[in-house]
Chains A and B, each alone.
Chain A
Amino acid sequence: MGLLTKKSRAGADEPPHFPMHVLLVLATLYAIYPVLWVLSIAFSGRQNLAIADVPPDPTFWDRLRTVVPWPAEVSLSNFRSLFADQPFATWVLNSAIVSIATTVVGVFLACTAAYAFSRFRFPGRRVGMMSFLVSQMFPGTLMLIPLYIILVKWLNLGSTRTGLVLAYSTTAIPFCVWMLKGYFDTIPRDLEEAALIDGASSATIFWRIVLPLAKPAVAVTALFSFMTGWNEFILAATLIDKEAMYTAPVGLRFFVGGFSQQWGYFAAGAVVVSIPVVALFLFLQKYLVSGLTAGSVKG
């Protein structure tokens, strides 16, 4: 009885929900307004930044019309000509190839290294892990000049996908290694020891026992690597100067950077590029968050 009364009293003590809903709706509007705005430009069928034309002597309602993110007419023409008239399909393809290759290379490197850091004790282990952590602090621009010199001038990989894949997969390694190591640490060793007694080799144990058990973490790492490649802008903008080799981010910037004002193409492209990552992100963000905070707590 006592418990029950307490509970009901606690319930009565809760503040009313209505103002909370008001606040949340306002916040949500704030959060989605720019997104709606991109959507409406994308579907407006025009290249304009403004949704509606303002008459010469606008009333309050004319003004209001310009800030409501709904296009005057809904049309898919921006999407159609984005793929038909602009080399956007090539750019997305470049991005996809680079991101997938980055994922494969990055995850392979990160898995093996994380396994060694988690399971073996060897000279250089601590130094190796700390150096991975410190490398996260290297400012991007400090790396950019030497990377440019190494990849473009020495290895002659400017404007190639290979150059980007190499750069992306190595920059993604430290985070992936720390995240995977954390997960490997939680996998009990009994299984591996049993397999060892049964005469399994270290490689068999890694491929057949540990990796299958670590599937969720490997999946998150893979998606992180993929997003690194898919969303990266500045390195690609620096290394690539052939239009045919642009990745999607560089290409999108091409539509609205400088004196170019093709907002319709930009918005349509942004929608195309964002849908996969936003979906993946919403699906996986809780794992990413735990990985991020776990890494920094340990550091």
Chain B
Amino acid sequence: MSERPDETEKEPSHRLRFGAGLLVATLLVAGVGHRLLSTALGETARFGEDRRAVVSLRALTDLVARAGDGEAVRSVVAGFAAAQPRVAATRVVLFDGVSLEASTDPADSGDDAAPRRLKREEKELYDRGQRLRAAIETNRAEGGARKDEVEKERLADGSLSLAAPIEREGDVVGMVETRRVPPPPAPRPSLLTTLSYVVAPVVLFALLSLVLGDRRAPLGALAAILLAGTAWGYAAQSSAKLSRARTALEADVAASVKESAAKAQELLAALPAPAAPEAPADGAAPEAVPAPSPAPLDPAEWDSDAFRRPLGLSDGAGNVDAAKVAAAIASASATIRRSSLLLGAIALLLLGFVGLGGLAAFLRTLKTHRTAYAYVVPAMVGMVLLVFFPFVYGIVLSFTDQTIYNSNAPLTEIWVGFKNYVSILTDFRVARTAADGALVFNYQNFYWTLWVTIAWTVTNVTYGVVVGLILALILNTKGLALKPAYRVLLILPWAMPNYITALIWQGMFHQQFGVVNQFVQMLGMEPVSWFETPATSFFTAWATNGWLSFPFMMVISLGALQSIPADLYEAARVDGASRWQQFTAITLPSLKPALVPAIILSVVWTFNMFNIIYLVTAGQPAGSTEILITQSYKFAFQKYQYGYAAAYSTVIFGILLVYGVFQNRMTKATEAI
């Protein structure tokens, strides 16, 4: 009696609940929004810095390529570096002679001043150049862009180290490496502005709630509207900020292209007719051909990606391609819109949860049962993190086409919907007829593997039950000598770790040295290559698993047999029942309650018996003896098709789930009878 008024007293008003809900929801929106915005601003700043760095490096490589070598290179490098305050050091490496041709690095002064041969401990530098050469050759051979032709590396202090190849007449002859000074810290969104997105709606809610009174519907609507406004406002603000930053960045990059181009032209003009004196020195160059006049610089090429493909956002003369930039900004804005919609929806759910009393009820439950929850939580946290979350994540993966090559891409980019499931489940081409009329099976097909798995499970469980039951019946004989000794020795196969069993049996089936073939030869037959045809290979795995699985059934049956009261048999004998009649009328029915669960369990175990197949046959030949679970492992860890393998595993889970539900119904039905 005394508790009731107490509780109603504690019940907070709608105003307070929705106020709190709005506070939490706007905090979420503003907090996550702030974080996203500052990441995006940082990324934009980095993007700009990277592009300016690439522009200056590409300009310099073009210059160096035209300058040839020797003094000319050193003069353009020094001249260019002087005009680039953000470049800390530049080094030029030529492969011919393994030389450091030019360097503005303070470390390369005095005795180490360029030009000189590269030192042993500078192998890294030489390797980097060779890597670029190999990358370019690979990309050319493949006609694609797979390997970076401009290497970017962020050093520990946040500065960039870049390397680009020097190409002359299509050959990579060297490399220019630059180190930039550490970039200035990226602009951060102001915390005060973000906070105002929390304070304003909450204050507004407090004021308006005084007008509306403590009624649920209007207050809820008001809070929802304010929340939506907050989310929209923050998204619009972020969008504007980012688009301003991007526009400024493009203008800046275009200006730096123009500036570099001007400086490069100036330096080129200052060079004393570069190639002409070089040509005679180069013995291979015939006299008759005049030194090729180098192609004019193409500054529009410099603003490029890692594969030296121009981005095309500016024309090299300082003009920005407004349409392309606008398109890039629009796509960024669309991303912001999408994520803020999602964020808003989550925040709205949170608002509803807190505002409609869900949180209060939740906290009450937590408090009433706090002891129980305290006991469950440690195990639950572990299970959620390392069992349920991976499970859900695996199912999510099954809808993507993640492989080892794109495993860092966000899942939304590699989302393929049900494609994996469709390609697993709707491919019925299990077998085709070859030219000579023979059937050729496709061992990679899901239905082939399913059939193998079912055959595997049924034959193994049957064998286990039959052998186990027979041995149990014999062991159950009254007064049999040596019973405990037999029992212990017969359990041995179950007690051994099954990976050891699997490896032993795999050895026993070895074609030349295996003991099974010694037996075969003892009987005067030719040794069998067990792992070379599907049937014999399947037999090896089956024999292994049969050996290790009968003791379980034996122990279960023996326990059940021993609990059958002897009176039953005596009564049957008095009635003149034969031995067989006794077996079917008394023994089998009494075994059922113990055997049925054991069989159910053993079916699941055998269905998922990974170790035996994986270690004994490994699917040989050609994957024909894979079962579902080993096949999915192969897809994941040998073919690295993570998404496809996850879908495959989910199908296995589905089969087991259906089996579980079905078996539950069956046992319930049989129990009812």
Contacts and interface: CB of A to CB of B under 8 A. Distances in A.
A135 B383 contact: yes
A178 B56 CA distance: 67
Contacts of A121: 372
A138 interface: yes
Interface stretch (A17-25, A75-83, A185-193, A218-226): A17-25
Contacts of A35: 492-493, 496
Contacts of A27: 467, 471, 486, 490
B636 to A, nearest CB: 5
A192 B113 CA distance: 85
A270 B570 contact: no
B501 interface: yes
B629 A139 contact: yes
A98 interface: no
B547 A48 contact: no
A195 interface: no
Contacts of B482: 21, 24
Interface in B572-605: 573-574, 593-594, 597-598, 600-601, 604
B205 interface: no
Interface string B461-494: 0000001000100110111111000101111111
A34 B504 contact: yes
A242 to B, nearest CB: 17
B373 interface: yes
Contacts of A143: 387, 390-391, 394
A200 B150 CA distance: 71
B158 interface: no
B229 interface: no
Contacts of A13: 573
A20 B475 CA distance: 9
Contact of B629 (A37, A50, A141, A292): A141
Contacts of B656: 137, 139
B522 A64 contact: yes
Nearest to A177: B379
Contacts of A297: 593, 597
A246 B148 CA distance: 35
A9 B149 CA distance: 95
Interface stretch (B60-68, B139-147, B246-254, B610-618): B610-618
Given A109-B379, A142-B649, A20 B510 contact: no
Interface string A162-178: 00001101110110010
A268 to B, nearest CB: 12
Given A141-B636, A145-B394, A146-B393, A277 B497 contact: yes
B503 A252 contact: yes
Interface residues of B, number: 103
A147 interface: yes
Nearest to B390: A146
A282 B488 contact: yes
A259 interface: no
A244 interface: no
B660 to A, nearest CB: 6
Interface in A1-58: 6, 9-10, 13-15, 17, 20-21, 23-24, 27-28, 30-32, 34-35, 37-38, 48-51, 54, 58
Q: Which of B372, B388, B490 has the most CB of A within 10 A?
A: B372
B15 to A, nearest CB: 28
A31 B598 contact: no
A282 B495 contact: yes
Interface stretch (B100-108, B230-238, B308-316, B511-519): B511-519
Contacts of B508: 34, 37
Contacts of A10: 569-570, 573
Nearest to A233: B499
A266 interface: yes
B490 A31 contact: yes
Nearest to B375: A116
A285 B556 CA distance: 11
Contacts of B673: none
B110 interface: no
B615 to A, nearest CB: 7
A156 to B, nearest CB: 15
B495 A281 contact: yes
A292 B601 contact: yes
A264 to B, nearest CB: 12
Consensus secondary structure, chain A interface: helix
Given A145-B394, A289-B559, A167 B386 contact: yes
B660 A113 contact: no
B608 A231 contact: no
B626 to A, nearest CB: 12
Contacts of B397: 145-146
B632 A139 contact: yes
Given A10-B570, A13-B573, A139-B649, A24 B474 contact: yes
Contacts, number: 280
A278 interface: yes
Nearest to B643: A145
Contacts of A31: 489-490, 492-493, 547, 551
Contact of B513 (A50, A170, A285, A286): A50
A23 B474 contact: yes
Contacts of B393: 146, 149-150
Interface string B633-659: 100110000100110111011001100
Interface in A234-280: 234, 238, 249, 252-253, 256, 263, 266, 270, 273-274, 277-278
Contacts of A60: 522
Contacts of A117: 376
A296 B372 CA distance: 25
A285 B633 contact: no
Contacts of B594: 293
A90 interface: no
Contacts of B569: 10
Given A67-B519, A139-B653, A233-B499, A14 B477 contact: yes
B363 interface: no
Contacts of B629: 139-141
B378 A112 contact: yes
B371 interface: yes
Given A138-B391, A278-B496, A293 B556 contact: yes
Contacts of B649: 139, 141-142, 145
Contacts of B365: 122-123
A34 B547 contact: yes
A134 B664 CA distance: 13
B611 A233 contact: yes
B610 A120 contact: no
Contacts of B519: 67
Contacts of A174: 383, 387
Contact of B371 (A48, A120, A123, A230): A120
Contact of B515 (A66, A167, A273): A66
Contacts of A167: 386
**Nearest 6 A-B pairs (CB), nearest first?**
A142-B649, A120-B372, A146-B390, A116-B375, A113-B379, A281-B495
Interface of B: 365, 369, 371-373, 375-376, 378-380, 382-383, 385-391, 393-395, 397, 407, 467, 471, 474-475, 477-482, 486, 488-501, 503-508, 510, 513-515, 518-519, 521-522, 547, 551-552, 555-556, 559, 569-570, 573-574, 593-594, 597-598, 600-601, 604, 608, 610-611, 614-615, 628-629, 632-633, 636-637, 642, 645-646, 648-650, 652-653, 656-657, 660, 664
Given A27-B471, A141-B649, A256-B507, 20 more contacts: A6-B574, A10-B573, A15-B477, A21-B481, A23-B474, A28-B486, A48-B513, A112-B376, A113-B378, A135-B388, A138-B653, A139-B628, A142-B391, A142-B646, A143-B387, A143-B394, A270-B504, A274-B496, A274-B497, A274-B500
19 contacts: A6-B574, A28-B489, A30-B547, A51-B515, A58-B521, A63-B521, A67-B518, A109-B382, A135-B391, A137-B660, A139-B608, A141-B652, A145-B394, A149-B407, A169-B382, A202-B371, A278-B492, A281-B495, A296-B600
